[in-house]
Amino acid sequence: MASFIMKQMMGSQLDKVKELTGGDGDKKDGGNDEEDPEVTEARREAEEKRDAKYAKMERQREEVRQSIREKYNIQKKEEAASLPPPCEGRLTADKKGPIPLPDDDDSFDPVKMATNALNTIADKLPFKLPWK
- Coil/strand/helix, residue 53: helix
Query: pLDDT tens digits, residue range 107-127?
Result: 778 888 888 888 888 888 888
Q: What is the mean pLDDT of the chain?
A: 77
List C-alpha distances in Å: 32 to 23, 24, 29, 36, 38: 19, 19, 8, 10, 16
Please state, in angstroms and rounded to a whole number, the distance separating the CA atoms of residues 33 and 109: 71
Is it the case that residue 26 has pLDDT exceeding 60? Answer: no
To the question of pTM greater than 0.85 for the whole model, the response is no
